[in-house]
Amino acid sequence: QSALTQPASVSGSPGQSITISCTGTSSDVGSYNLVSWYQQHPGKAPKFMIYEVSKWPSGVSNRFSGSKSGNTASLTISGLQAEDEADYYCCSYAGSSTWVFGGGTKLTVL
Amino acid sequence: EVQLVESGGGLVQPGGSLKLSCAASGFTFSGSAIHWVRQASGKGLEWVGRIRSKANSYATAYAASVKGRFTISRDDSKNTAYMEMNSLKTEDTAVYYCTKDWNYGMDVWGQGTTVTVSS
């Protein structure tokens, strides 16, 4: 199972919006509405941000939103804030009780 | 407080074995599936495996990279999950996280435990 494809890095200025893409295949992202997203600050454990493509876990800001089209899922962060600077990972259920993560995207807030 | 705490990491020689533990508190552990995810230094997250609850027959699943070498188990009486790692390779060196399943996502994460495979 190959990792999902994410851009290595994205950047934006405070207040702007950015979108991180996550491209898989028809066997994972394209087959299931079971994409989740995680935020990870340096030296910390990942934090659960989005599940089932576009749902928010309790306590997560609605500045973070998810979507999916075909084999590509996306995470959009609106109203960028300095504390959003982190690594972001997508993850998809891949069938047969397996999961696959994306390679990660480093977000820089300029 | 909902919490997962990993332990058992350390330095092991190639070909050796190690058993990690994941102690849970603050939620109904017995009803939850638990995943293990690892992260090599400077690299991305990699899903390692998962164990389901008793209601789902404690079913396990593994990534191809560890299948046949790693075994996940659980003791619901101790609110603890385990991952036994055998035939360790240098490429297994990573921080290992346990995490609770939530609707096919992973909502609660431990702080991680470091495994180093080196001679």
What whole-number percentage of chain A has pLDDT above 70?
100
Tokens for B46, please give them: 């990699």
Q: Return mean pLDDT, chain A.
A: 97
How sure is the predictor about A1, in pLDDT bands with cuts at 50, 70 and 90? confident
List, for chain B, all residue ranges whose pLDDT scores fall below the cut of 70: none
pLDDT reported for residue B58: 97
Contact (CB<8Å) A101/B104: no
Round to whole Å and give the CA distance between A9 and A15: 18
Locate the chain B residue with the closest alpha carbon to A97.
B61
SS3 breakdown of chain A: % helix, strand, coil, rounded to 5?
Answer: 5, 50, 50
Round to whole Å and give the CA distance between A18 and B65: 34
Whether the pLDDT of residue A43 is over 90: the answer is yes
Chain A positions touching B104 (Cβ under 8 A) are 32, 34, 36, 51-52, 93, 99
Q: What is the pLDDT of residues A48-86, one digit of tens each?
A: 999 999 999 999 999 999 999 999 999 999 999 999 999
Whether the pLDDT of residue A109 is over 80: the answer is yes
